Structure 1
């Protein structure tokens, strides 16, 4: 009798699982097929071909797939190489609290490029992937000007604290914050425009808003302090670097594929005003498939006319971790990281670390997320090109997430009770 064993069957979305198939005939060819229908009704699936060993078993930790959606030994390949049935959809968990992603894993005899409804699986099982650990609490935040969601680990605390932000689409995205909380951090998923009663567009980077959020987080009785961490991707990376430069509360900043100059809106903080570099919207490229390539919209930050728009990262008191996808098609994030580090070096600073990943795209996320190289996004009339090579991006996500967790723990203290 053919059996699939997934260990564990229920886990956090960023945790590895072991997939083992037994009861096959020696050297039998099979197709492993993983599928999921997300909260918007879009189906995602991945398939890989395997050959059983002489004992009639397939262990994904050791077996190499000769074909399918990936090739080689990829223990988590069925999760990392998921593709949407409808083009240009991003797999993203929206409701992180009430239910997990429930995947169906099937084993089929022989190799099948297309899995038709008429095919009968040899074995099947359900795999649950949660974005919150048991006991993590979510509290909506609407206090003063601050809007977002606070995630609290179980137990009395106190815990290290992190502010988590996403990018230029605005709104509130929570899946990374809930995973960080599941690893023992108090995390504020922070919205800064296009959410609740916040402005619909970001006309300026008002650093006072982010200082208010930092102080609110640090005042929570479960937060250890005295400083906190910040993590942001894309526009959130620009904000992260600005917070690190000006706010003494920030002792650890994780910048993921952001900029090191102000783009599209100026920064204002107390008596400080930093002008911005305008977007060159006329440089948008629309591909033959109707995809927006925004790579050249970000004008050269090295142009002397834009020198005053640089974020003064050399003022950062805390540590800064730069995470770069070298195949980022949103903009040249490698250049922005290099310029920031060059500026820090020029002022004798050594409080930086660079993780740069060949083949990594713009949306470097926790390893439970498959590559999204093209997708629709709020405010864009057409799908946007994010970039990334599937296999290299998967490796970048696995490695960078582990390094991010270690970085935050090292500089904020271990995520455990005092």
Structure 2
């Protein structure tokens, strides 16, 4: 994506729409990208401010439901009248530590609490697009402002729904812009919410050049409504379908699973190493769990037989890299211990492939997906209702950044 610089100053005509009076100040707000993919960092800088004086820098965006989310922090300009958000620490506001993207994830909805509320960007022409307004205020006056456009879909990315009746799978296939090459691909598996995983990660991965099959395995049309006795062969069939797509490198298919979805991701990587060549496990479990939401049965089967609940998930057959990301304050299950156990088992199996656990101790269960979006530490689970994921917003954001960066690096390492 072409990089550009956008600067608006209250001293010039570019800010006529903000109501500023020309000549009253020389504050300039600069961003290095006027438009970017939603997972790309934007660098923000304020210049021309009164040296040593406080000012407020804020962000606002309207979500899909028409609610305006808002974040704002106070900085003190340095001796040159400059605030660089990448290096400046706020003295007060919606986030507290040095973080150039803090305004993006720390926004709150109108009622002030992001818990159990989902921020979904508006849709334009069928695609998620966020118009985020950045501004600089002092003493109640707007000194400068600009708007950044953040997109979840790069040009040329295409999507195709799959149905059980036609394709023998329920899912969504998202392909990157055609370039004549074959690329590592992702089999994406959501968690206990069922249905299709949130499409934001799917489209962003495809925007980075990686084909993605977003697969539903329960609580969706064409698949069981409960998570009970789901055949591993269903996931293998999905990987096989993915391998036949023209832009996919069939030798480098990675299963990416979040929460409950980490189990079939690791199981299919172990049981079908010729089809799936590694796994990314977000908030993982290390043992086979039972059925959901009604307990008392097996969640998974293999060759027609239920996989025993509480058995360790084997890893000795895995034929590719494994990344696990977990929070030490996870209230759903002990994903930190699970991530460490998976790495230990890979060590004991003398795995020849890279494997790494990324642990953020203060993070909770919400460590899956792309960074730079406002999330709470609680959700309104579509099956069980209000649910506390644990952790803190800053720690969860740190885990999202590290996990997303590592995931993209893992996929890039497979590109031939």
User: TM-score band (shorter)?
Assistant: 0.7 to 0.9
- The residue number in structure 1 matching 2:107 is 82
2:232 touches 2:301 (CA, 8 Å); kept in 1? yes
Cα distance, 1:238 vs structure 2: 1.4
Q: Distance in 2 between matches of 1:347 and 1:398?
A: 29
CA distance in 2, matches of 1:390, 1:198: 34
Distance of 2:29 and 2:160 partners within structure 1 = 38
Unaligned runs of 5+ in 2: 1-10, 12-26, 292-297
Moved more, 19-28 or 61-70: 19-28
CA displacement 1:193-233 (0-9 Å, x = unmatched) = 22233322222221121111111111011112224011111
Distance in 2 separating the partners of 1:327 and 1:246: 31
Q: Which deviates more, 371-380 or 93-102?
A: 93-102
Residue 275 of structure 1 is aligned with which of 288, 308, 324?
308
Residues 1:43 and 2:45 aligned together = no
Alignment coverage as a number of residue pairs = 373
Scaled by the length of structure 1, what TM-score is found?
0.83
Q: Which moved more, 1:42-51 or 1:237-246?
A: 42-51
Task: Give the gaps of 5 or more residues in structure 1.
Answer: 111-118, 277-305
2:169 maps to 146
Output the CA distance in 2 between the equivalents of 1:271 and 1:99.
Answer: 41
1:169 maps to what in 2? 193
Q: 1:138 to 1:343 in 2, by over 3 A?
A: same
Where in structure 2 are the equivalents of 1:286-297 lying within 5 Å? none
Equivalent residue runs for 1:48-197 within 5 Å:
48-86=73-111, 87=113, 88-92=116-120, 98-110=127-139, 120-142=141-163, 143-155=166-178, 156-172=180-196, 173-197=198-222
Deviates more, 1:11-20 or 1:389-398: 389-398
The two structures have a TM-score, normalised by structure 2, of: 0.83
Partner residue of 1:259 out of 285, 298, 301: 285
8 Å contact from structure 2 (residues 328, 361) kept in 1 = yes
Offset from partner CA, 1:1-30 (integer Å, 9 cap, x none): 333222202101110111122343333321
Residue-by-residue CA offset, 1:358-399 (whole Å, 9 max, x unaligned) = 212211132223343112120123x21112223333222222
Q: Would the aligned equivalents of 2:121 and 2:128 in 1 still touch at CA under 8 Å?
A: no
Give secondary structure in 2 for the equivalent of 1:224: strand
Work out whether residues 32 and 48 of structure 1, in 8 Å CA contact, stay in contact via their aligned partners in 2: yes
Aligned counterparts of 1:241 and 1:11: Cα–Cα separation in 2: 33
Which residue number corresponds to residue 328 of structure 1?
330
**Cα separation, 1, equivalents of 2:88 and 2:347:** 46
| C-alpha separation in 2, matches of 1:136 and 1:250 | 23
- The answer (yes or no) to whether the contact 1:252–1:408 under 8 Å persists in 2 is no
Q: Provide the C-alpha distance between the structure 1 equivalents of 2:201 and 2:128, rounded to a whole number of angstroms.
A: 16
Partner of 1:376: 380
- Larger displacement relative to structure 2 (91-100 or 311-320): 91-100
Q: Is the 8 A contact 2:43 2:85 kept in 1?
A: yes
Report if the CA contact (8 A) 1:366-1:398 is conserved.
Answer: yes
Q: For the Cα contact (< 8 Å) 1:360–1:388, is it kept in 2?
A: yes
Counterparts of 1:264 and 1:340, CA distance in 2: 19
Q: CA deviation at 1:95?
A: 5.4
Q: Match of 2:393?
A: 390
Q: Is the 1:93–1:175 Cα contact (8 Å) retained in structure 2? A: no
Specify the alignment match of 1:294 in structure 2.
none
Quick one: distance in 1 between partners of 2:383 and 2:148? 34
Relative distance call for 1:158 and 1:6 in structure 2 (3 A) is: same
| CA drift at 1:92 | 4.3
Preserved contact between residue 192 and residue 259 of structure 2 (Cα < 8 Å):
yes
Q: Which residue of 2 aligns with 1:214?
A: 239
Distance in structure 1 (CA, Å) of the matches to 2:312 and 2:401: 31
Cα separation, 2, equivalents of 1:262 and 1:84: 38
- Taking structure 1 as reference, are residues 89 and 395 closer, same or farther at Cα in structure 2, changes over 3 Å only? same
Deviations 1:216-256 (A, max 9, x none): 11101111222401111101111211111111211120011
